[in-house]
């Protein structure tokens, strides 16, 4: 009995202390910043973000970071925008870089230029890879360039190949196809058919569900053509070079027969790779850790094959600052974003998650150097940044993107020719963008 | 005289207030979450989408005009009709069949009941993720099973001819077990005397089902039908997980398209317009069901 009583008293004491701690933390004129972050609750990523927030609070007393884990990118955007419309927006959010125009058009975010005060702030805003800044900045109608997003968790499309499969096909296992022609030549050898003609292993899978335009940009950029202008008001879907790129994608299945026909599910592509149903996949660098942990064979990571030149599109999320903050909160928010994107943090984040560290000096930190020495594949994405372009993003972004996605899928499933599909997509995009000319 | 009149009226007034107060909680919920949103949606469909500093402007029937010219809307509507016209009869037939099968005294009845009911317990998101791998070309369950009979691999979800059918199969699989429970309950209510009488008269099993069991199950069938129709317009989780409406809008259903327009394109006015169509459609179906079927159903 006494024992139980003693335990109860200890427990009550512990509760009192905890409550006291919570109280004291919330006292004074603390600035509490709400930070929407796109990940489901629980799991390793939330732990990392929580750790960063705690470390930041320890270094910056008086500022509290209230991280809100809001689900997928799409969920987070929905939550942030509906919160904004109801008058209680988050202060900071990590959202897709391609949502920039949507957020600008909703008048929800402010440019970082408005909060950068001194030279060190301005230098910081220029310290990121130019490829990542392409869809973090845009010109206004007066021609002035503004920075609306700061790169944080950025990725790009790379090629993974199964070295064992290359060896089995009599190819050099350490040499990935570097051009479209090599891809087709190697692909013929890598595609394994049984006597009845059924394919046991495909040469390549370029996924085409969800966001086929992003992977398509790996083909168009290599064919030396851009899909949109920098102001996000024009698209070039019916450019002959774009049609040619789509024709090549379709040909991989229909002409060369080295890729499965129809659309290829994004989500199961890595699994297809692990199951040796395909020797090569194109996917996000965000899958690096996944492949490293699950591939039961030697694999390599390479830049996407070149045609007119090399090329890929960047992707992933940026920091945004929402409007309706007081000056004091704005400064605190900027401090947090700067802290989160410091070279050491960018390196740490890249190593922990597989995202591409967003600034060149992050790659010179000792931690990153050690990581790259152990795992050279991690540097492929960085090196490819020299050839990378902005992910497709325009005004009324998702609608324009859907027009292109529908066209790509129509061509891949054979209901339209690539030429027809791209012409239709362009007509639709022009119609949608008319309001922004 | 005047005095007695007021005393007469007071208790009646009190009864009215009392009655309204009793209804208030339910009425508040209904107004806040059903009637007000429906009315607001209807009104919004005549305005343009507010963007940033630009507010909503009255545009009359422009949104409806745009809808009529929108090929994706017609595609989604057509898909939804195909989807409903397949899912509803298939689900009802399968659930009735399963209920009849496990109504009798057979070995392992509890196990069968449990396994038929299990899909209902799973969340649709989980179901969709499981089926995503069933349909995977090559190593997916379906392709492996067909491979045993010498069929080559099929890209089930990536083909315009099979994608919608694949989603229909998932919906039937998911809902049949749930409706089976209602049929089972109804079957157990049927008096065994009917079966005995029919046996004495020499009625066959099929004849007995057609002329006695099925007509007596009609109230349940109506209930199941109403729910199945609502589900076929309401449940889109599996589309979000499995196809995102693709390839090229082959599997876009009306509600999925509304979500896309509303929360991806942020064109809330056009989403409201589409929602009005969905509301009208469901209202018409519900009215039709109750006016048409109710008269033909024999309630005990």
The predicted-structure confidence for A380-394, as pLDDT tens digits, reads as follows 999 999 999 999 999
Helix axes B163-189, B124-134, angle to 10 degrees: 130
Q: How far is the C-alpha of B164 from the C-alpha of A424, rounded, in Å?
A: 23
pLDDT value at residue B148: 85
Using the predicted structure, report yes or no on whether residue A120 has a pLDDT greater than 70.
yes
Least confident of A132-146, A221-235, B138-152: A132-146
Residue A113 makes CB contacts below 8 A (sequence gap 6+) with: A125, A146, A147
Is residue A207 within 8 Å of residue A215, measured between CB atoms? yes
Q: What is the pLDDT of residue B300?
A: 59
pLDDT string in tens for chain B (300-residue length): 454 455 555 678 888 899 999 999 999 999 999 999 999 999 999 999 887 777 888 988 999 999 999 999 999 999 999 999 999 999 999 999 999 888 877 788 888 888 888 888 999 999 999 998 899 887 888 988 888 887 777 888 888 889 999 999 999 999 999 999 999 999 988 888 888 888 888 888 888 888 888 988 988 998 899 889 989 998 899 999 898 887 889 999 999 999 999 988 888 999 999 999 999 998 898 888 878 777 777 665
Residue B44 lies in a domain: no
- A141 and A203 belong to one structural domain: no
Q: Is the pLDDT of residue A27 over 50?
A: no
Do residues A133 and A121 share a domain? yes
Domain stops at, among A378, A399, A422: A378
Listing DSSP states for B93-108 in one string gives HHHHHHHHHHHS--TT
Please tell me the predicted confidence (pLDDT) of residue A324. 82
What integer pLDDT is reported at residue B1 of this predicted model? 46
CATH classification of the domain holding A132? 3.40.190.10
Nearest-10 crossing angle of helices A343-353, A44-59: 160
In a domain, A118, yes or no: yes
Q: What is the pLDDT of residue A23?
A: 45
Q: Is residue B32 part of a domain?
A: no
CA atoms within 13 A on the CB side of B84: 23
- CA atoms of A296 and B136, how far apart (whole Å): 20
Question: What percent of chain A shows pLDDT beyond 70?
Answer: 92
Whether residue A126 is found in the same domain as residue A24: yes
What pLDDT score was predicted for residue B49?
Answer: 87
- Is residue B14 included in any domain, yes or no? no
* Number of separate domains in chain A: 2
B17 within a domain of the structure (yes/no): no
Please state the ipTM of this predicted complex: 0.75
Q: Closest partner residue to B246 among A197, A263, A272, by Cβ?
A: A263
Is B160 in contact with A399 (Cβ distance < 8 A)?
A: no
Q: Kindly provide the b/e burial profile for residues A287-319, where b requires at least 16 CB atoms within 10 angstroms of the residue's own CB.
A: bbbbbeeebeeebbbbbbbbbeebbbbbbbbbb
The structure tokens 């064109």 sit at B267
- Does residue B216 lie in a domain region? yes
CA-CA-CA-CA torsion sign (A109, A284, A154, A89): positive
- Specify whether A407 is located in the same domain as A332: no
Contact by Cβ (8 Å): A204, A160: no
Q: Is residue A20 scored above 50 in pLDDT?
A: no
3-state SS class at A393: coil
Residue B199: predicted pLDDT = 85
Contact between chains at A106 and B246 (C-beta distance less than 8 A): no
CATH, residue B274? 1.10.3720.10
Q: Residues A412, A209: contact at Cβ < 8 Å?
A: no
Do A246 and A335 lie in one domain? The reply is: no
Among A340, A355, A378, identify where a domain stops: A378
Is the confidence at residue A242, as pLDDT, over 70? yes
Q: How confident is the model at residue A319 (pLDDT cuts 50, 70, 90)?
A: very high
Output the CA torsion A17→A18→A19→A21 (10° steps).
90
Indicate whether A408 and A372 sit together in one domain: no
Contacts of residue A85, Cβ cutoff 8 Å, sequence gap at least 6: none
Residues A364 and A412 in one domain: no
> Would A211 be classed as within a structural domain?
yes
The alpha carbon of B151 is separated from its chain's Cα centroid by a whole number of angstroms, namely 34
Q: Write down the pLDDT at residue A325.
A: 83
Cβ separation of B265 and A399 shorter than 8 Å?
yes
Tokens of A391: 């992910």
Instruction: State whether A365 and A397 are in the same domain.
Output: no
Query: What element of type H or E holds A35?
Result: strand A31-37
Q: What pLDDT is attached to residue A24? A: 45
Q: What is the mean pLDDT of chain A?
A: 88
pLDDT for the residue numbered B9: 58
- Here the tokens at position A61 are 């007393």
Residue A384 lies in a domain: no
Contacts of B139 in chain A (CB under 8 A): 272, 275, 277
Please state the φ and ψ torsions of residue B179, each to the nearest 5 degrees: -70, -30
Q: Which domain holds residue A209?
A: 155-314+389-436
Which among B62, B69, B246 is the top mutation candidate for probing chain A, defined by the most A β-carbons within 10 Å of its own β-carbon?
Answer: B246
Q: Which of A284, A248, A278, A246 is nearest to A260 (CA)?
A: A278
End-to-end CA distance of chain A: 80
Let me know whether A94 and A109 are in one domain. yes
A275 contact residues in B (CB cutoff 8 A): 138-139
Four-residue CA torsion sign, A365, A361, A154, A267: negative
Is residue B171 one of the residues assigned to a domain? Answer: yes
Do residues A125 and A115 lie in contact, with contact meaning Cβ atoms separated by under 8 Å? no
pLDDT of residue A12: 52
Above 70 in pLDDT, residue A200? yes
CA nearest neighbour of A356 among A63, A176, A158: A158
The answer to whether residue B288 is domain-embedded is yes
Is residue A253 situated within a structural domain?
A: yes
Res A141: pLDDT: 55
The C-alpha atoms of residue B26 and residue B24 are separated, in whole angstroms, by 6
pLDDT of residue B104: 77
- The mean per-residue pLDDT over the stretch A345-361 comes to 91
β partners of residue A201: A192
Q: What is the pLDDT, as a whole number, of residue A17?
A: 47
A226 and A294, same structural domain? yes
Q: How many domains does chain B have?
A: 1
Cβ atoms within 10 Å, residue B97 = 13
Structural domain includes residue B35: no
Q: Which residues in chain A are closer than 8 Å to B157, comparing Cβ atoms?
A: 209, 263, 265
Q: How far is A386 from chain B (nearest CA, A)?
A: 31
β-pair partners for A139: A145
Backbone angles phi, psi at B58, to 5 degrees: -70, 125
Q: Same structural domain for residues A372 and A427?
A: no
The whole-model pTM stands at 0.82
Query: Can you name the residues that pair with A319 across neighbouring β-strands?
Result: A94, A150
Q: Per mean pLDDT, which range of A113-127, A307-321, A361-375, B281-295 is the poorest?
A: B281-295
pLDDT at A150: 95
Sign, CA dihedral B140-B146-B148-B154, equals: negative
Q: What chain B residue is nearest to A401 in terms of C-alpha separation?
A: B265
Q: Contact, B168 vs B251, CB < 8 A?
A: no
Regarding whether A232 and A134 lie in a shared domain, the answer is no
CB pairs under 8 A between A and B: 98
A383 belongs to a structural domain: no
- Range of the structural domain that residue B112 is part of: 67-296
pLDDT over 70 (residue A92): yes
Separation between Cα atoms, residue B264 and residue A81, nearest integer Å? 11
| Contact (CB, 8 A) for A191 and A258 | yes
For residue A91, is pLDDT > 60? yes
Confidence of residue A210 (pLDDT cuts 50, 70, 90): confident
> How close is the nearest chain B Cα to the Cα of A344, in Å?
35
Return the pLDDT at B192: 85
Section A385-406 average pLDDT: 92
Minimal Cβ distance to A264: which of B152, B158, B264: B158
- B247 chain-A contacts, CB cut-off 8 A: 208-209, 262-263, 409-410, 412-413
Q: Which of B155, B264, B266 is nearest residue A262 as measured by Cβ atoms?
A: B155
Whether residue B256 contacts residue B76, with contact meaning beta carbons closer than 8 Å, is answered with: yes
Of A268, A402, A412, the CB nearest to B132: A268
Nearest to B80 by CA among B257, B218, B280: B257
Measured on CA atoms in the order B74, A235, A137, A142, is the torsion positive or negative? negative
């Amino acid at each position: 009995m006494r024992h139980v009583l003693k335990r109860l008293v200890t427990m009550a004491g512990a509760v009192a202390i905890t409550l006291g701690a919570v109280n004291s933390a919330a006292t004074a004129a603390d600035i509490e910043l709400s930070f929407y972050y796109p990940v489901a609750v629980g799991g390793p990523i939330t732990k990392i973000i929580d750790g960063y927030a705690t470390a930041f609070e320890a270094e910056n007393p008086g500022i509290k970071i209230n991280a809100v884990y809001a689900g997928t990118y799409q969920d987070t955007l929905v939550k942030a925008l509906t919160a904004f419309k109801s008058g209680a927006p988050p202060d900071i959010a990590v959202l897709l870089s391609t949502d920039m125009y949507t957020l600008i058009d909703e008048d929800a975010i402010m440019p970082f230029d408005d909060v950068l005060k001194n030279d060190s702030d301005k230098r910081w805003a220029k310290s990121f890879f130019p490829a990542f800044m392409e869809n973090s900045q845009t010109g206004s109608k007066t021609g002035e360039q503004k920075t609306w997003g700061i790169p944080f968790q950025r990725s790009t499309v790379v090629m993974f190949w199964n070295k064992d499969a290359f060896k089995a096909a009599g190819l050099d296992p350490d040499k990935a196809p570097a051009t479209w022609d090599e891809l087709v030549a190697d692909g013929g050898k890598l595609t394994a058919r049984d006597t009845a003609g059924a394919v046991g292993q495909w040469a390549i899978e370029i996924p085409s569900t969800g966001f086929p335009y992003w992977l398509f940009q790996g083909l168009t950029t290599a064919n030396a053509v851009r899909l949109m202008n920098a102001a996000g008001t024009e698209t070039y879907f019916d450019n002959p070079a774009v049609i040619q790129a789509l024709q090549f994608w379709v040909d991989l299945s229909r002409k060369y027969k080295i890729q499965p026909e129809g659309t290829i599910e994004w989500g199961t592509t890595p699994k297809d790779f692990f199951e040796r149903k395909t020797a090569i996949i194109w996917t996000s660098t965000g899958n690096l850790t996944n492949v490293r942990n699950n591939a039961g064979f030697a694999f390599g990571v390479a830049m996407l094959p070149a045609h007119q030149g090399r090329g890929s599109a960047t992707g992933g999320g940026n920091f945004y600052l929402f409007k309706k903050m007081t000056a004091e909160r704005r400064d605190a928010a900027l401090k947090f974003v700067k802290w989160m994107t410091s070279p050491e943090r960018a390196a740490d984040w890249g190593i922990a998650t597989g995202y591409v560290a967003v600034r060149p000096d992050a790659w010179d930190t000792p931690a990153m150097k050690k990581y790259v020495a152990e795992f050279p594949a991690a540097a492929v994405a960085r090196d490819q940044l020299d050839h990378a372009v902005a992910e497709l993003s325009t005004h009324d972004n998702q609608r324009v993107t859907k027009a292109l996605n529908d066209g790509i899928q129509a061509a891949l499933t054979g209901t339209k020719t690539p030429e027809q599909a791209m012409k239709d997509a362009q007509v639709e995009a022009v119609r949608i963008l008319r309001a922004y000319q | 005289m005047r005095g007695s009149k007021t005393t007469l009226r007071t208790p009646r007034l009190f009864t009215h207030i009392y009655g309204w107060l009793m209804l208030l909680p339910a009425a508040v919920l209904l107004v806040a979450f059903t009637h007000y949103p429906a009315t607001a949606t209807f009104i919004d469909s005549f305005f343009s989408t507010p963007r940033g500093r630009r507010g909503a402007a009255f545009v009359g029937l422009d949104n409806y005009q745009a809808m009529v010219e929108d090929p994706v809307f017609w595609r989604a509507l057509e898909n939804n009709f195909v989807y409903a016209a397949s899912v509803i009869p298939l689900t009802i037939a399968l659930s009735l069949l399963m209920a009849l099968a496990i109504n009798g005294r057979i070995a392992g009845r509890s196990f069968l009941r449990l396994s038929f009911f299990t899909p209902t317990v799973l969340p649709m998101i989980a179901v969709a993720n499981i089926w995503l791998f069933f349909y995977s070309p090559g190593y997916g369950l379906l392709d492996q099973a067909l491979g045993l009979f010498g069929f080559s691999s099929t890209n089930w979800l990536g083909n315009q001819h099979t994608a919608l059918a694949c989603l229909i199969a998932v919906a039937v699989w998911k809902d049949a077990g749930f409706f089976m429970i209602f049929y089972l309950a109804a079957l157990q209510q049927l008096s065994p005397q009917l079966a005995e009488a029919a046996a004495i008269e020499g009625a066959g099993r099929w004849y007995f089902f057609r002329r006695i069991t099925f007509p007596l199950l009609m109230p349940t069938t109506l209930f199941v039908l109403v729910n199945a129709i609502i589900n076929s317009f309401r449940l889109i989780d599996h589309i979000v997980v499995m196809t995102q409406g693709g390839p090229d809008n082959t599997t876009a259903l009306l509600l999925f398209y509304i979500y896309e327009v509303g929360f991806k394109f942020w064109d809330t006015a056009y989403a409201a317009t589409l929602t009005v169509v969905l509301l009208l459609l469901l209202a018409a179906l519900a009215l039709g069901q109750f006016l048409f079927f109710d008269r033909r159903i024999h309630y005990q």
